Structure 1
Amino acid sequence: MYALTLGDMTWDGYWYTNNYALPQYIVEMNKINAMVFNTMGNHDNDPKFYEDWGAEDKFRDVLGPTYYSFNIGKVHYIVLDNIEYINAGDARNYNTKIVADQIEWLKKDLATITDKDTPIVIAMHAHLHTNPILNTSGAETTGYRISNAQDFVNTLNGFNTVHVLTGHTHINYNVETAATPHIMEHNTAAICATWWWTGNAGYAGNHICKDGAPGGYGIWAIDGRDLKWGYKSIGEHADYQFRAYDLNQVHLTKDKYAPILSLQVI
């Protein structure tokens, strides 16, 4: 069994105020009996730096490179850093972008794979596609979230099976498009759910994500080149999917149940 994180293992706002940064994360992860491969998220940057490379130094010191690849069985895995940290005026802001050096490295990495039927699994923090919506005709539509997404997608031409695993949104959705039928994105909700809301009093212990999904994680079962996946809610059986309520029996008030939007952090 292996574990693959999708970024934001820490929250940069707590690195110095609460003394919880990547070294403390390592202490927690050492409690599980699995090899862990880590992906860098926007909140895993050091907020004392005002440019991308320096802000990543602590990640490299504690966890290793911010982008890399490896093989397990018949699957090729790639981990990318698609956060370009800016932190202008201590705002902790960033661009969602795979910088040019990484794109060139990715091309060289993929060039080593001669069998184009090899399954490719790519992990990165920010989502490749926006959350799909229905247009006025009832058709599902989506767009790219990463500023240079087309450069990234072009590197994957010729491969038949590519799964892109992303996080960041704290919701669950999958994306397949007619333009790139060989690529499927799995945007997976968070094990921390919406801690900045539901961690407060008044939520009746509901550990839920922004789309209402219970906090949880993805489970992948891989047999050779056969990949199967699903979402596992914390503390529930694997076939647990959602809760339903009879709204005739529910009384909701804004003051008691509406989240405080100013607390939202992504």
Structure 2
Amino acid sequence: MSKTREGRTRRGTLAAVAALAGAAALVTVPGAAASTTAAPTWHQSWNETAYRGQVEVVRTPRGPADPDVLTGTVFVDHDRDSASDRRERGLAGVEVSNGRDVVTTDRHGRYRLPVYDNMTVFITQPAGYQVPVDEHNVAQFHYNHLPAGSPPLRYGGIAPTGPVPDAVNFPLVRSRDTGSREQHCVIAGDLQTYDRTEVEYARRGAIRDLSRRHDYEGCGSLFIGDVVGDDLSLYPDVKGLTALTNGPARFLPGNHDLDFDAATAEHSFDTFRAELAPAYYSYDVGDVHVVALNTVRYPCTPDVDNADGLRPGCDDPVNDPSYNGRLDEDQLRWLERDLAKVDDDKLVLVASHIGLLNFADEGSAIHQVDQVREVYDLLAGRKAVAVSGHSHSIENMRTGDLVKGWQDLFGVDGLPFPHITAGAISGDWYSGELTEDGYPTAIGRDGGRPGVVTLDIRGDEFRERYSVTGERDRVQTQLGINSPTYRDWYVERQAWNDDREGPAPELTDPLVVDRADLAGRTWLTTNFWMGSTGAEVKVRLDHDRPREAVRTQPMRGEDQRIGPEWSDPHAVAQQLVHGGSLADRSMHLWRFELPADLAPGGHRAVVTATDMHGRTFVDVLRFQVVEQR
């Protein structure tokens, strides 16, 4: 949302335009009133101190001197009214972009950019400063320019913006929070609400958790796509959710945020851009440069997306439109120019909806990014981490990790830096039983539970953590028993679910194993959601010494290991009964084989999971051994 001001004349300098516009404010966008709250003090809450405002758009009757050039100023908004005046200085050294070009403000905070008809102009928030947020905490740092507006779209798209303004000025305030070397960045995957019932599920779940946290006010929250589930009229409801959070909220588009009635990719995210954010952009906090990419191209086309024959779903964009994981040429050019202005000693956080690469869809070209190797080349020599959503799975993939699909499809021989798939607030699309707190269990196809990732950053170093919805951060594992009895039931129940004839097979006493189970190989399983290469899981059975469990997916170039013996029995026992996906594979599952001669009676297994950073998490499973069921 922008604030529009009209003045009486144009003097040829931005200072004159700002002064004249300040004397004659004629139009203000409804609902975007600026805050005049005093500068924050350390003990006040986010809602008391948030810098609320909007971008300043200046228009005069004469218009700009050169309609092919957009000019403006990035300024420090001391009185917090979103309007530049003579007493407020411009800020030098800030990057401003039109989505293709990237320029840097001069010593007076001024910039000049070429104009093209469908562009979003945005600034890269510098560390130590904060862009304004609206009443819903949505960051305000961009201006859409589309003179005639979007083509007819069901959800409206971008309203006509008219000709180029005289100036677009970007306000900032100083911020100790964004300047700190210590940052806590919330990465929220796939909110994906299809209706208002699911909006309420999100409110009662992860959003309530975020409303109780105050550690992310500097970096804020980044919702990495599939903000809604195809119904773009729910964006105001989503903004009602971010109004409950404590920090600036930013968004990326996903394949369920599309204007599906757009005939070309040029307008496929117009409603998203009008309501929430640019399709791609960047911002700085502390020693971190966040690059927020749009990795969804819709509709994909055979010439651009399927030249190699790996994406046949792109061959009929008119009658059977589909999407593909891809950066368009403008964005790739912007990314190169953006990174060229970033100091080499900064951590680069590359965020996207469709991940550069992921484990869950490692064999699918459309669910990963076509130009992954070009992105790697641009980041060569830099310290980086990639975070993404899309697959509704939790994946903590480390430097050097490899699975077969990455090599076969893209010629990648190992990850050059960590890649994290952040799970989903919606989990497995709000499936499964309702919890007593009023939201579904929604256990994912990797056995993961709904939640959000936080990157805890100090300088250019980070540690990742996963917060399960409704749980303390110490809850990081899920234990189960994978026995022949369970595996037989898995097959029988899956077949019954397909035809529903006769009584449903039941898995009775999943934590009871008999002598035949032990003889046929029974494992205690540990689903360690943020487990990764470099992590370990140890099991202490009764009074024995701790012994190492074995990871089911080593991530050393092998294909996915799929099926009952590689599954998470705790998750599957709920999914086959209550619905949802099936946790038949995971890159973060460990197994410990129970001894065949284990004595009858009750047993206690103490599981210690240690992540690659040395943090330990302890869980306990009690089970029974019987001679015969």
Query: Please, what TM-score do these two structures have when normalized by structure 1?
Result: 0.81
Distance 1:120 1:61, change over 3 A: same
Q: Deviations over 1:131-184 (max 9, x none)?
A: 179xxxxxxx9897211211121111231x101111100111123344566521
Tell me, yes or no, if structure 1 residue 239 matches structure 2 residue 474. yes
Tell me, yes or no, if structure 1 residue 170 matches structure 2 residue 392. yes
Give the aligned residue type for 1:32: T
Alignment partner of 2:461 out of 206, 222, 226: 226
For 1:85 and 1:143, the matched residues in 2 are separated by 17
Partner of 2:425: 191
Residue 60 of structure 1: CA displacement?
1.0
Partner of 2:340: 111
For 1:187 and 1:97, the matched residues in 2 are separated by 17
Alignment partner of 2:377 out of 154, 164, 167: 154
Q: Secondary structure at the match of 1:28?
A: helix
Asked if 2 retains the 8 angstrom alpha-carbon contact of 1:68 and 1:79, the reply is yes
Asked if 2 retains the 8 angstrom alpha-carbon contact of 1:82 and 1:97, the reply is yes
Distance 1:158 1:190, change over 3 A: same
Distance 1:40 1:132, change over 3 A: closer
Tell me, yes or no, if structure 1 residue 99 matches structure 2 residue 333. no
For 1:27 and 1:91, the matched residues in 2 are separated by 34
5+ residue gaps, structure 2, are: 1-215, 301-316, 401-412, 498-503, 505-574, 582-629
Tell me, yes or no, if structure 1 residue 83 matches structure 2 residue 296. yes
For 1:173 and 1:64, the matched residues in 2 are separated by 26
Q: Provide the alpha-carbon RMSD of the alignment.
A: 3.0
**1:1-266, aligned counterparts within 5 Å?**
1=216, 2-12=220-230, 14-15=231-232, 19-20=233-234, 22-86=235-299, 88=317, 93-113=322-342, 115-131=343-359, 145-159=368-382, 161-178=383-400, 182-195=416-429, 197-198=431-432, 205-246=440-481, 253-254=493-494, 255=497, 257-258=575-576, 259=579
For 1:84 and 1:188, the matched residues in 2 are separated by 21
Distance 1:92 1:26, change over 3 A: farther
Distance 1:7 1:92, change over 3 A: farther
Distance 1:131 1:181, change over 3 A: closer
Asked if 2 retains the 8 angstrom alpha-carbon contact of 1:189 and 1:215, the reply is yes
Asked if 2 retains the 8 angstrom alpha-carbon contact of 1:213 and 1:242, the reply is no
Asked if 2 retains the 8 angstrom alpha-carbon contact of 1:120 and 1:163, the reply is yes
* Aligned-residue identity in percent: 24
Give the aligned residue type for 1:207: A
Distance 1:199 1:26, change over 3 A: farther
Asked if 2 retains the 8 angstrom alpha-carbon contact of 1:165 and 1:188, the reply is yes
Distance 1:84 1:191, change over 3 A: same
Asked if 2 retains the 8 angstrom alpha-carbon contact of 1:47 and 1:90, the reply is no
Give the aligned residue type for 1:171: S
Asked if 2 retains the 8 angstrom alpha-carbon contact of 1:129 and 1:142, the reply is no
Give the aligned residue type for 2:352: M
Q: Deviations over 1:183-232 (max 9, x none)?
A: 211111111001264379xxx95331221111111012122223111111
Partner of 1:264: none
For 1:171 and 1:181, the matched residues in 2 are separated by 18
Larger deviation, residues 98-107 vs 224-233: 224-233
Give the aligned residue type for 2:479: A
Residue 236 of structure 1: CA displacement?
1.1
For 1:260 and 1:226, the matched residues in 2 are separated by 37
Partner of 2:152: none
Q: Secondary structure at the match of 1:230?
A: strand
Q: Secondary structure at the match of 1:164?
A: strand
When the two structures are aligned, how many residues end up with a matched partner? 245
Asked if 2 retains the 8 angstrom alpha-carbon contact of 1:129 and 1:143, the reply is no
Q: Secondary structure at the match of 2:268?
A: helix
Distance 1:96 1:227, change over 3 A: same
Distance 1:56 1:123, change over 3 A: same
Asked if 1 retains the 8 angstrom alpha-carbon contact of 2:431 and 2:441, the reply is no
Q: Secondary structure at the match of 1:53?
A: helix
Residue 51 of structure 1: CA displacement?
2.0
Larger deviation, residues 29-38 vs 59-68: 29-38
Distance 1:260 1:76, change over 3 A: closer
